[in-house]
Amino acid sequence: MSTVVVGAGIVGSSVAYHLARQGVPVTVLDQGPSSATGATGDSFAWIGGHGGDWPGGAQDLRGSVLADYRRLQTELTDVAVRWTGSLTWIDAQANRDSPLGPGRFWVGGSDIAGLEPNLRNPPEQAIHTPSDGGVDPTVMTNALIDAARAHGATVIHNSVVTSLQMVGERVEGVVSSTGFHAGATVVLAAGTGVPELGKRLLASLPVAASPACLVRLSAPPGLVKTIVASPEFEVREVRDGDLLLTLPHVEVKSVTSLEQAAHHALRRLQIHFRGSDGCRLLGYRIGRRPMPAQGPIIGYATQDRSVYVAVTHSAITLAPTVGRLVADELVTGSPAPELRHCRPRGFAP
């Protein structure tokens, strides 16, 4: 059962790794010069199984997130999760009268100071989720791709897939800038590129591109201890001395406005954190994340099962679970109950 995976972002790499690990011949095609050059590399990469939005079928996947990440850590030594926990007060007042659920706790005063000692003006209350963590998405994606190769997968970069090769109603592979690549199954995991590739098969694949402004900063190691989510920004330490900050609801219409937004982000960080005067900008960019309108879209897109779609937000959080479940479905032919609410419209499990 040869499989062609289109896209070497975090989702495609996870699918390829889990398939190759089960002995399936896999070819991965990606339009970039290396893995994770698209939306994956532009991710804030906050991992958690409790808080946040879990639209549609994502709700059925959240319970497996932490266990699948811990499993991957044992399988792949290069997958290093920083299990720092998170501290958030974005909608703290709105959530104050709602149950938080297991694994999340209201904290205040000395507890906040203990978690983030450099925070100058901490909120009166915040939500602490000790089990949250973060990864370097590029490092993780490369670890998955390298492991897939070690299990026999072929990975081809700078390969732009232009169309599906159809014989009658059946898809028999893909046409790309590196030629024709045959596969008994084609997995479309190219994020916002999936609707265009699948337009002949599915009338509607509602996947929008959601922009996010990401800013990288140098900082004293340990300046930020947890993943901090305030109304003004989210920030976490990716590695010692390297902070990643993302700004909500920023409209960037030019290179100049992007640069201004990055400098504004730096100033806001310096206002909020003691010891941050020496922080410096390392880079900034706008990432465009695939955002399916009604939650993850995962499943077969043809009745003959020759094409499979896998596109989701949050891809970094869900990738280990999605990769495992998709590979199991493709290998066994049995639908995964956890994916029953993720199917492309018109295609039941």
Reported as a single tens digit per residue, the pLDDT across 75-126 is 998 888 999 999 999 765 555 666 787 889 999 999 999 999 999 999 999 9
Kindly indicate the confidence band of residue 1, based on its pLDDT and cuts at 50, 70 and 90: confident
In the three-class reduction of DSSP (H, G, I as helix; E, B as strand; rest coil), residue 284 is classed as strand
Q: Looking at residue 92, what is its pLDDT?
A: 54
Q: What residues have CB less than 8 Å from 328, skipping those under 6 apart? A: 18, 334, 336
Q: Looking at residue 112, what is its pLDDT?
A: 96
Cα dihedral sign for 251, 253, 258, 264? negative
Q: What residues have CB less than 8 Å from 209, skipping those under 6 apart? A: 192, 288, 289, 290, 291
pLDDT per residue as tens digits for the range 193-248: 898 888 888 767 788 777 788 899 999 999 999 999 998 899 999 999 999 998 87
CB 265: neighbour CB atoms within 10 A? 23
pTM for the full predicted model: 0.93
Kindly indicate the confidence band of residue 49, based on its pLDDT and cuts at 50, 70 and 90: confident
Q: Looking at residue 253, what is its pLDDT?
A: 65
Q: Looking at residue 208, what is its pLDDT?
A: 79
Does 97 or 12 have the greater pLDDT score? 12
Cα dihedral sign for 283, 30, 194, 132? negative
